[in-house]
Structure 1
Amino acid sequence: MSSTPDKLEDEQLATTDIPTNELSATSSVRKACLLFVFCFALFLDAFITSGMIICLDTIATEFIQPPNITSWLVTGYSLTFGSFLLLAGRISDMYRPKYVFIAGMFTIGVFSIGAGFVHSIIGLIVIRAIQGIGAAMTIPSATLMLTQAYPTPMAKGIALTLFAAAGTLGICMAFVIGGALVQFATWRWVVWIVAVVSLPLAAISTILIPKTENDPAAKNQKLDVPGVFAFTASIILLIFALSQAPSFGWGTARVLAPLIISGALFLAFLYWQTRLPEDTALVPPNMWFIPNFLVLVFVSFCTQIYLTGPILILSEYWPVAYRWSPLTIGLHALPMGITSVIVCTILPYFILQLPPRLGLVASNLIAGSFSILLVYSSTRERYWSFTVPSMILITLGSTSAYIISNVGIISSVPPSKVGVAAAIFSAAQQAGGAINIAIVTTILVQVQEHHPYPSYEAPSSAFWYLVGLGFAQTVMVAVFFRPKVSVAP
């Protein structure tokens, strides 16, 4: 399927005035290889997050640490990843994205090697946080280079679709691969396998990616240092507060203080952006007024929980109620992985042929309404009749929504803002994932106080939240999305 963008682009470049650059002028075979590298980079970013979730119980046992400490292995990565995305996007727009991407891949790989040899939980958390910075460098730069390599609308749409699909595939497949590695080897191989893949890809990228030149005007722009500080500090405090809420309570000073400061810093950041020239602002204010931009960001904010939430909830419940091992849990999560493969490789073109408003309404409605099956999946006997159909349909709906919204955001902005747009989309996804996971975890913790496992009351309550979120997304899109703007290529 990766050859399709090349054929379409060759035809369209001959009949349009779309400007060429070093990436778009390279050979079709080389561009196909670049598309694979960029897609695999996003796959790894998602794998690093989801793969660690399946390892948490094993790490907690090995390091003799409570869950609220080991959860920082996921939170620390998400914290730095979400915080540095916008900075990485701005740097990619201003300078050469090739070197931003390669530096990010090397950072991920080198520290993945170190993570496998660490015997201190604090050291492992620090390494995971540094990996998050490396991952933040890869996504905006890869997105920018993809749009440069495939500048025509049809080719760009298909390339971005495959790129977005790789992220959802990484989330789903990490549970299966991670479960197998934990069961038959050690959790350390879950991080080592990332190094085995990322370091060769980084080395290949130094040769494969041609020397790129951004818009000369961008080189003369100044980096918005106060904006970077305010936004980064805001996201860090937000994710920190949300990670503490399930353990310490939403009304405690440990949670409220960073939440309030985070909100104040974010408002100050938005105000500061209005005081700067458009070519200097980290996030030009006019981007928020691009038709459907805010709606698509909201979809990104909500979508990831449908790919991580069910496994996060059930991976806590199944070991207690059914005594299932990590591999068994991974295998029982396989319907999500298989569905993701099908959606990501076969259906993207057909998904993007739908009117975007109809596609988003349908996909969000599917994800939300079929979460109801998980509410009642309370026994082992209901796995095939309730859990499997729900996993399949939730993955279909959430993956479709992710693809449509990702392609829509990148296609709606001018080429000089692609890096920032990709960063905003990914930052919304990370912040939304953190907030929704915190809410789901809080529900689990509070309900378990009165209905401990193996009662299904806590998972059932958490799944009701997913149902409500899906309907909220559906209403948001139905009311505020403007049909005249098409996100399909």
Structure 2
Amino acid sequence: MVNSQTTLSRWLLPVLLTVQFLVSLDISVVNVALPDIDSGLHFDPGSLAWVVNAYALTFGGLLLLGGRLADVAGRRRVLVAGFVVFGVASLLGGLAQTPGQLIAARAAQGVGAAALAPVALALITVNYPQGAPRSRALGLWGAAGAAGGAVGVLVGGLLTDWTGWRSVMLVNVPVVAAALAVVRPAVPADDRSAGGPRPRLDVVGALLATAGTALLVLELVRTESHGWTSWQTAGVLAAAVVLLAAFAVTQTRVRQPLLRFGLLRSGPVLAANVFALLMSAGQFAAFYFTSLYMQQVLGYGPTAAGSAFLPFCVGVVAGSVIATRTVGRVGPGALLVAGGLLGAAGFAWFAAAVAVDGGFLLTVLGPSAVSSVGTGLCFVPLGTAATTGVPAADTGMASGLLNSSRQVGGAVGLAVLVTVAAQAGGTGARGLVDGFAAAYWVSAGLLAVAAVAAGLLSGRRPLPAETSAGKKSSKKSVAGVDPDVSRSTQG
């Protein structure tokens, strides 16, 4: 037993941090390689963006399903499957000979990521006890995600310059292989020995949620080419709304739904998801515009622009350390408010300082330092609040919901703020700067609203586990315990 526990403490967290780093890395790692990919595979006009969009589409569309599948099929099993799909897709992408093959590989990477991301947070929740151990794990988990997104820009530039664009895809393969080698001894199998019926997957709900979310993300990433007022945009968004509304209706009528809306009656869970939605909307767009500003206005190359994001990683780690040490004393709500306001101040600094002749210290480093510490403060309380009062058997569900909020928020924010920048800006460097400034101001506003929402919602008490499980399940429970909860696992 001692040896088993030693193995768990040594390898479990590195595996879960690898998951978070990889899925975040692959959102941004291909961006700076796009010109080389285009020249190597000869994409048709307008289709190159699908190298990025295909990953975002499947990743965002399948997160709810991936989270619930971990609860139903077992967390270790889904983790292994996710790694295999992600690794094979990366290999096939690196060997792709046509644009279609690369786009398909990127879509498959998103499928693997949608299985990996929610199960990592769920495993942290069920394996690390509440308090300092879980706070530390959540702090490192958040830092790994932020570092993956920022380092992806640098790694993509370096690999493309040194060895060509294919290495941007192939670099994932040895990392996945190393993780798979230690998954079985590191991650405990789910305990299915407890009584009660085995949980079932809500297939109809899964299809509706996946189709609705995928259509929503699809049209949001295409608004730059179609426009918000086009019939294509209106039609696809309307279809997405109908599918998601149908999903919401079905979840109130099935015994074991894909998403228990009772979870959102808990103040901390609702606060975490609202905050994640708004924060990601502002943060994803700010990353995008900062990269464009450095390359299109300040004249940085891909590697230099990627290197400029490294201070952001340091700030996120610093904020995560502070949050880890203070969340037990001040609570997650207070940290979300503080982190949101600090992030808003950083984005407001970006908006005020961005200039055609701006220098690195005042227009990039300073605001990056402030916004990154604010961002880092939020990861620990987000993970804590999103799973507060959630039964162990529903941690995958709660984790999938939080990750969905982040991805959908990022897609919505980027699509809207690209439009804001285009309408507020003009031609030439001066026009770009005006557009970027307008987008930064909106990003700051989103973070400020997120902080206010966290302050208002976090004060509401979390619901008891049996209440969050919904009325239909509680009627069939024994002694007030939901059947799913009776199978609560220790890993």
TM-score, with structure 1 as normaliser: 0.87
> In the alignment, what sits opposite 1:183?
161
- Deviation at residue 62 of structure 1 after TM alignment: 4.1
What is the CA–CA distance in structure 2 between the aligned matches of 1:215 and 1:73, rounded to whole Å? 44
- Deviation at residue 61 of structure 1 after TM alignment: 4.6
What is the CA–CA distance in structure 1 between the aligned matches of 2:295 and 2:336, rounded to whole Å? 35
- Deviation at residue 320 of structure 1 after TM alignment: 2.8
Structure 1 residues 152-178: Cα deviation after superposition (integer angstroms, max 9, x where no partner) = 544333323322332122112222222
> In the alignment, what sits opposite 2:103?
125
Q: Could you tell me whether the CA contact under 8 Å between 1:304 and 1:398 is conserved in 2? A: no
Q: Which amino acid aligns with 1:243?
A: V
- Deviation at residue 425 of structure 1 after TM alignment: 0.4
- Deviation at residue 385 of structure 1 after TM alignment: 1.8
Structure 1 residues 295-340: Cα deviation after superposition (integer angstroms, max 9, x where no partner) = 2101111223454333311322333333321001112222212222
Q: Which runs of 5+ in 1 are unaligned?
A: 1-21
1:44 has 2:22 as partner? yes
SS at match of 1:133: helix
Q: Could you tell me whether the CA contact under 8 Å between 1:356 and 1:483 is conserved in 2? A: no
Q: Could you tell me whether the CA contact under 8 Å between 1:81 and 1:133 is conserved in 2? A: yes
Aligned ranges 1:82-93 → 2 under 5 Å: 82-93=60-71
Aligned ranges 1:92-241 → 2 under 5 Å: 92-214=70-192, 216=194, 220-241=198-219
Q: Which amino acid aligns with 1:482?
A: G
Percent identity between matched residues is 24
> In the alignment, what sits opposite 1:325?
301
> In the alignment, what sits opposite 2:257?
281
Q: Which amino acid aligns with 1:393?
A: V
- Deviation at residue 191 of structure 1 after TM alignment: 1.6
Q: Could you tell me whether the CA contact under 8 Å between 2:266 and 2:462 is conserved in 1? A: no
Q: Could you tell me whether the CA contact under 8 Å between 1:303 and 1:402 is conserved in 2? A: no
- Deviation at residue 248 of structure 1 after TM alignment: 1.2
What is the CA–CA distance in structure 2 between the aligned matches of 1:222 and 1:430, rounded to whole Å? 26
> In the alignment, what sits opposite 1:3?
none
> In the alignment, what sits opposite 1:16?
none
Q: Which amino acid aligns with 2:79?
A: F
Moved more, 418-427 or 68-77: 68-77
1:363 has 2:317 as partner? no
> In the alignment, what sits opposite 1:292?
268
Q: Which amino acid aligns with 2:265?
A: F
> In the alignment, what sits opposite 1:315?
291
What is the CA–CA distance in structure 2 between the aligned matches of 1:229 and 1:306, rounded to whole Å? 29
> In the alignment, what sits opposite 2:382?
405
What is the CA–CA distance in structure 2 between the aligned matches of 1:384 and 1:207, rounded to whole Å? 46
Change (3 A) 1:354 1:129: same
1:336 has 2:302 as partner? no
Moved more, 212-221 or 430-439: 212-221
Moved more, 176-185 or 245-254: 176-185
Structure 1 residues 204-260: Cα deviation after superposition (integer angstroms, max 9, x where no partner) = 213433433247457523321111111111001101111111111101111111111
Q: Which amino acid aligns with 2:302?
A: P
Structure 1 residues 406-433: Cα deviation after superposition (integer angstroms, max 9, x where no partner) = 2211233111110100000001111111
Q: Which amino acid aligns with 2:64?
A: L
Structure 1 residues 12-36: Cα deviation after superposition (integer angstroms, max 9, x where no partner) = xxxxxxxxxx9x9931343231111
Q: Which amino acid aligns with 2:143?
A: A
Find 2:421's aligned residue among 444, 448, 451: 444
Aligned residue pairs: how many? Answer: 461
Change (3 A) 1:32 1:307: farther
> In the alignment, what sits opposite 2:435?
458
> In the alignment, what sits opposite 2:471?
none
Find 2:324's aligned residue among 348, 361, 368: 348
RMSD over equivalenced CA pairs, Å: 2.5
Q: Could you tell me whether the CA contact under 8 Å between 1:182 and 1:326 is conserved in 2? A: no
Aligned ranges 1:410-425 → 2 under 5 Å: 410-425=387-402
- Deviation at residue 347 of structure 1 after TM alignment: 5.0
Q: Which runs of 5+ in 2 are unaligned?
A: 464-491
What is the CA–CA distance in structure 1 between the aligned matches of 2:286 and 2:320, rounded to whole Å? 20
Structure 1 residues 182-201: Cα deviation after superposition (integer angstroms, max 9, x where no partner) = 23332222221111201221
1:267 has 2:245 as partner? yes
Change (3 A) 1:58 1:466: farther
